[in-house]
Amino acid sequence: MNSSTMSIAVASADLQGIDGQVSEHFGRCPAYTLVEVVEGVVHDSRIESNPFVEGHAPGQIPEYIADLGANVILTGGIGGRAIQFFEQRGVQVAAGFNGPVKNAVEAFLRGELRESDPCSGGHGDCHD
């Protein structure tokens, strides 16, 4: 991927892709919407099912997302260890998003990057 292209993974609460909703937590979402961006414009998107929706070991999902080719993950909430695992794989983390996937991607592209602070709990696996 060159500097004018990127792949953004969005933790998705449904299987609607770019028209769906951002999940509250990256680990328990049913799918990830992979959005290909070329020169700052959404070029394509696809839905990838989360093979770890029923449970995962620490580091499995960051590895999976990196293997899908994503350079960025957008999500509602994420734990501190998961942030570290993503960063170790060169995947930028932006958290605190809610609402439509499309809006989250557009906000990220406008530079409205949310802090990647760990969530405070309530999701059952925020420690991952």
pLDDT of residue 115: 54
* Element counts in the chain: helices (H) and strands (E): 3, 5
Which CATH number characterizes residue 74's domain? 3.30.420.130
pLDDT of residue 113: 65
pLDDT of residue 54: 86
Rounded to an integer, what distance in angstroms lies between the CA atom of residue 33 and that of residue 68? 11
Q: Nearest 5°: CA angle at 53, between 52 and 57?
A: 40
Rounded to an integer, what distance in angstroms lies between the CA atom of residue 13 and that of residue 2? 30
How many folded domains does the chain comprise? 1
Domain that holds residue 51: 8-109
What is the CA 72 to chain-centroid distance, rounded? 7
Q: Does residue 67 lie within any of the structural domains?
A: yes
Q: Does residue 87 lie within any of the structural domains?
A: yes
Q: Nearest 5°: CA angle at 48, between 75 and 21?
A: 40
Q: Could you report the per-residue pLDDT of 88-97, keeping only the tens digit for each?
A: 999 999 999 9
- The parts of the chain modelled with pLDDT lower than 70 are 1-3, 113-128
> Contact at 8 Å (CB) between 71 and 6?
yes
Rounded to an integer, what distance in angstroms lies between the CA atom of residue 60 and that of residue 64? 6
pLDDT of residue 119: 45
φ, ψ at 120 (rounded to 5°): -100, 10
pLDDT of residue 14: 97
φ, ψ at 81 (rounded to 5°): -65, -40
Q: Does residue 123 lie within any of the structural domains?
A: no
